Amino acid sequence: MNLVEKILARASGREKVAPGEVVVANVDSLILHDLSGYITSRVFEKEVKRKMRYPERVAMVFDHHFSPPNEERARILEENRAFARRHGIHLFDCGSGNIHNVAVRNGFVRPGTIVVGSDSHTPVHGTLGCFAVGLGNNSNAGTVMPFGKAWFKVPETIQVKISGQNKPGVCARDVALWLTGQIGEGGVVYKAMQFTGPYIKELEVWDRWLFPLITIDVGGKCSFIEPDEKTVNFVKGITDEPFEVITSDPDCEFADVWEYDASGLEPQVAASPTLGNVKPVGEFAGAPVQWAELGGHGGGRLEDIRQAAYILRGRKIAPGVKFNLVPSSREVFTEACREGLVQLLHEAGCTWFPPSTGSNQAINMGAMAETEAMVSTHARNFPGRNGSPKAMMYLGSASTVAASAVKGCIADPREFTV
C-alpha cells in the first residue's frame, strides 16, 4: 500500500484498503476559515444539532478578513467567535495569518494523520505526509463535527517524479505553475499524486508545499510527499504532540508514473482566465500591471519576501504600481522584521498588510476595476475573484511579481537576478 492507503486503512480499522473502496475513517484535524467556517457552523447548529465530538481537533482561522470591512462582516465574525466559544474549538482571530500556514505552525498537521477542511487547498498538507483533503460543508458539519469521522473513497495514485535543477532566476513556484499546465486542469480528477524525485527531495519544506498546493487546480483529491528527515525535524520544531511517520511500501503500485525534468524551465506566468493558461514569462512580458501582491494560499512565505527583497534592494517600484505584502503568518512577519526586510521593502514603496490570505476573493483587499491587472503569488486567477470579471490576474513567483512591480508591467526576473 502507499502512504494514503496505509493512513486510510489504519484510520478506518482495516488491515488494507484498495482504490475504489469507500471507507469511514477517523479524522485528526478539521480546519475551517472564517467564511467556510461560518457556513459550516450554520449547517451544524441548524440542521445537524448535535454536540461537537472532539472540539480540540477543530481550528477556525480568520484569514479572509484581517479586519471586517463592514457591519455585516463584523457580525459574521462575531457569530464565528460565539460558535467557537460555545463548542470549545480553537480560534485564530484576524491577523493570525493564512489558514493553512496557521494550521501547520500550530501543530494541526502531523505526519501520518488525516487532515480535512472545507477550503479547497486543504490538500497542501500532504506536504508533511498526511492524507489531507477538502470536504464539503455537509461532511464537515454532518460527520466530522459530531462523530470525528468522514467517508472517503480510496483514490488511485499517480506518481509524479520531478528531476533536474533550476536555472538561476527560476524557482520552485515556476516549476509548480508549469506542472499545473503540464498535468492540466482536470488532469487527475479524483486521483492522488505522490510528488517525488530528486528535485522534490532537495527542496526545503516550505518550497515542497507549492506542489501539493496545485492538487485541487489539476482536479486531484490529495497529494503527498514521503516524509523524510527534513519533514520530521520541521514538525518536531513546531509541536510536541506525538506522531507516527507512515511511508509507502517500496513495492507499492501506482496507476501511472509521470516524469518531468525541470532543468530547462523559464520563469512561468499563468494569466486569467484559468491556471491552465500558463506560459513562459516572455509571452506576457510588457503587459501593464497596476497591482502586485505577495499573498494567498501559497504566497506570503518568508521565501517569497526574501525573493522580493533581493530584487527591490536599492530599487523602487514603478510609479502607478501598488505592491502589497501579506505575510502568511505572524511568525513570518517576525522573521522579516528581524532580517530587515520590512523596512527595506517599505522604503522600496511596498505596503505591508496584516498576516492573512490577502486579496483572495477580494474580501477585504484586492478588488480591481475592469481596466486593472494584478501580478501575484496567489493560487488562482479565475475571472471575478478579484473584482471585475474583466480585470486580469497574472500568477508568478515572488521574483516575477517583484520584477514586474519595478517595471510596471509583466517582467522577467532574470533581468534583475542574473
Q: Mention every residue, 6+ apart, whose C-beta is less than 8 A from residue 131.
A: 3, 4, 7, 8, 11, 113, 114, 115, 222, 224
E strand segments, 4-145: 22-26, 29-33, 58-61, 90-92, 114-117, 131-134
Residue whose CB is less far from another protein, 289 or 393: 393
Q: Distance of CA 271 to CAs 283, 315, 387, Å?
A: 10, 26, 16
Residue whose CB is less far from another protein, 124 or 170: 124
* Choice from 85, 86, 153, 313 touching another protein (CB under 8 A): 153
Q: Residues 365 to 394: which contact another protein by CB under 8 A?
A: 380, 382-385, 389
In angstroms, what is the minimal distance from the CB of 120 to another protein?
4
Long-range Cβ contact pairs of 280-286 (< 8 A, separation 24 or more) = 281/396, 281/400, 281/410, 281/411, 281/412, 281/413, 282/412, 284/394, 284/410, 285/409, 285/410, 285/411, 285/412, 286/409, 286/410
* Choice from 141, 175, 302, 326 touching another protein (CB under 8 A): 141
Compute how many residues bind another protein; rule: CB under 8 A. Answer: 51
Can you tell me the distance from the alpha carbon of 59 to that of 100, in angstroms, rounded to the nearest whole number? 11
* Choice from 29, 41, 127, 139 touching another protein (CB under 8 A): 139
Can you tell me the distance from the alpha carbon of 149 to that of 132, in angstroms, rounded to the nearest whole number? 14
String of contacts with another protein for each residue 91-130, x by CB under 8 A: ---------------------------xxx----------
Can you tell me the distance from the alpha carbon of 150 to that of 139, in angstroms, rounded to the nearest whole number? 7
| 114 contacts 11 by C-beta, under 8 angstroms | yes
Residue whose CB is less far from another protein, 134 or 197: 134
Q: Quickly count: other Cβ atoms within 10 Å of residue 71's Cβ.
A: 8
Per CB under 8 A, does 190 bind another protein? yes
In angstroms, what is the minimal distance from the CB of 318 to another protein?
30
Per CB under 8 A, does 85 bind another protein? no
Q: Mention every residue, 6+ apart, whose C-beta is less than 8 A from residue 75.
A: none
3-class DSSP assignment, residue 119: coil
Which amino acid would we find at residue 222?
A: C
Q: Residues 212 to 231: which contact another protein by CB under 8 A?
A: 216-217, 219-221
Q: Mention every residue, 6+ apart, whose C-beta is less than 8 A from residue 38.
A: 76, 79, 80
Q: Which three cell numbers stand for residue 299?
A: 504566497
Residue whose CB is less far from another protein, 20 or 314: 20
In angstroms, what is the minimal distance from the CB of 249 to another protein?
25
Q: Which stretch binds another protein (CB under 8 A): 47-55, 279-287, 322-330, 410-418?
A: 47-55
Q: Which stretch binds another protein (CB under 8 A): 34-42, 156-164, 173-181, 204-212?
A: 34-42
Per CB under 8 A, does 363 bind another protein? yes
Per CB under 8 A, does 77 bind another protein? no
Can you tell me the distance from the alpha carbon of 249 to that of 267, in angstroms, rounded to the nearest whole number? 35
Can you tell me the distance from the alpha carbon of 373 to that of 284, in angstroms, rounded to the nearest whole number? 12
Residue whose CB is less far from another protein, 136 or 408: 136
Q: Which stretch binds another protein (CB under 8 A): 91-99, 146-154, 293-301, 399-407?
A: 146-154
* Choice from 135, 171, 246, 341 touching another protein (CB under 8 A): 135
Per CB under 8 A, does 5 bind another protein? no
Can you tell me the distance from the alpha carbon of 349 to that of 352, in angstroms, rounded to the nearest whole number? 10
Q: What residues line the site for another protein (CB under 8 A)?
A: 12, 22-24, 35-36, 38-39, 43, 47-48, 50, 72, 76, 118-120, 134-139, 141-143, 146-147, 149, 151, 153, 185-186, 189-190, 216-217, 219-221, 274, 276, 361-363, 380, 382-385, 389
